[in-house]
Structure 1
Amino acid sequence: MRIFIKFDFNTVCKKILEEKLDECQIKHRILGFGEVEFLEKVSIEKLDSFSNSLYPYGIEIVENQKTILIQKIKDAIVDLVFNEDSSINVKSSVYLSEKLNHSYGYLSNLFSEVTYTSIENFIIIQKIEHTKQLIINGQLSLTEIAFKLNYSSVAHLSSQFKNTTGITPSAFQRIITKRREIATKNKN
């Protein structure tokens, strides 16, 4: 038997952080995605215990300032692309500059230097991941998805989707539909 699961990365990570901080009895406040303020002095032992408890989930504490800023850039992009409340119609360069209080040129150069890819490429990858989720959810047409993610046309979305995944969004839709049919058939 196979089931399909819909989840929000931000909510999952926040829940894990909350649970692990509570388990370690660390008084805290979650400020934003990936940022926690300790409301008390935390011993090295507690901090190590907390860090070790996050490791199995692929979550780690970041200490290097450049790495912290890179993570903030990634978090801001993920929030821009995946957040249902935010409007993706804003220019990403303006959004990142305003959100992170640095010039876009500085952010772009730093991101490329550390990650060996561009901010633009990271945004495309996130948009394609969101497109996949929206296709799997099956509630929006490709035209609606293209509009929602601020593509100029379905053809533009399709082109980026194919360049990133190797298949068209329509082919991806057919694969998902076929998998559901097989899963339903096997269930009966």
Structure 2
Amino acid sequence: MKIYLKNMVCHRCKIMVQSILEELKVPYLSINLGEIDLEVTLDSGKEQELIERFQALGFEWINDKKSQIIERIKTLIIDLVHHQDNTLKSNLSTYLAEDLLQSYAVLSTLFSEVENQTIEHFYIAQKIEKVKELLMYDELNLSEIALKLQYSSVAHLSRQFKKVTGFTPTYFKKLKDKKRQQIDKL
């Protein structure tokens, strides 16, 4: 049985989910961002208990197919940008279509209808949050950040950053109150 959870965006989330499953003695095959593969089908009582425990941690149980697809798109992009160093071997549309086994046109239309933004805008928002994070750490220069996030140039990164945030990366770095957003709120 597969369970899909919204707002499960990092390794710590996986650890918290694993802890709940083990505490409630629910056998599982795997835990991935946004998706849990259980060994057994749950009875309604155990399912309700899991729903309540997950909700207490800020996770949302997703039942309908459209929401599952949208959450999977978000999870793939978040994982790509924040956990895999944005290493795409093909373009984003091909990556998503191959993973979800659906045409990108269908995925894009569904995502835009429900989220009121395109997949591309969501992807850019995630990349800009990653740029903010890297600027705050102050370990990489702009050229290294552009390379790490697969921007074609520092100028492209800077233009996109300014378009999204209203600041140049250099000015953002100087701000005392750097405004970052939670990944699951983008």
**Same fold per TM (> 0.5)?**
yes
Q: Structure 2 unaligned runs (5+)? A: 1-8, 178-186
Q: What CA deviation, in whole Å up to 9, does each residue of 1:142-185 have, x standing for no partner?
A: 1111111111211211122122222221122112xx57xxxxxx
Q: Which has the higher helix share?
A: 1
Amino acid at match of 1:74: K
Task: For residue 128 of structure 1, report the CA deviation from its aligned partner.
Answer: 0.6
| 2:48 counterpart of 1:48 | yes
| 2:67 counterpart of 1:70 | no
Aligned pairs for 1:1-188 (under 5 A) are 9-84=9-84, 87-88=87-88, 90-175=90-175, 178=176
Q: With structure 1 as the length reference, what TM-score do the two structures score?
A: 0.83
Choose between structure 1 and 2 for higher RCO, CA contacts under 8 A separated by at least 6 residues: 2
Calculate percent identity across the aligned residue pairs.
39
User: Quick one: distance in 1 between partners of 2:73 and 2:13?
Assistant: 17
Query: Residue 85 of structure 2 contacts residue 149 of structure 2 at CA under 8 Å; is this kept in 1?
Result: no
Aligned match of 2:3: none
Return the index of the structure with the highest Cα Rg: 1
User: Quick one: distance in 2 between partners of 1:84 and 1:53?
Assistant: 29
Amino acid at match of 2:148: K
User: Quick one: distance in 1 between partners of 2:172 and 2:24?
Assistant: 43
Cα 1:88–1:173 shift into 2, 3 Å: farther
Q: Which has the higher strand share?
A: 2
User: Quick one: distance in 1 between partners of 2:103 and 2:28?
Assistant: 31
Aligned residues, how many? 171
Task: For residue 34 of structure 1, report the CA deviation from its aligned partner.
Answer: 1.2
Q: What CA deviation, in whole Å up to 9, does each residue of 1:78-127 have, x standing for no partner?
A: 12212236613531011111111111111111111111110000000000
Amino acid at match of 1:135: L
User: Quick one: distance in 1 between partners of 2:48 and 2:135?
Assistant: 40
Query: Residue 29 of structure 1 contacts residue 39 of structure 1 at CA under 8 Å; is this kept in 2?
Result: yes
Q: Alignment RMSD, CA only? A: 2.1
4+ residue runs over 3 A deviation: none
Aligned match of 1:183: none
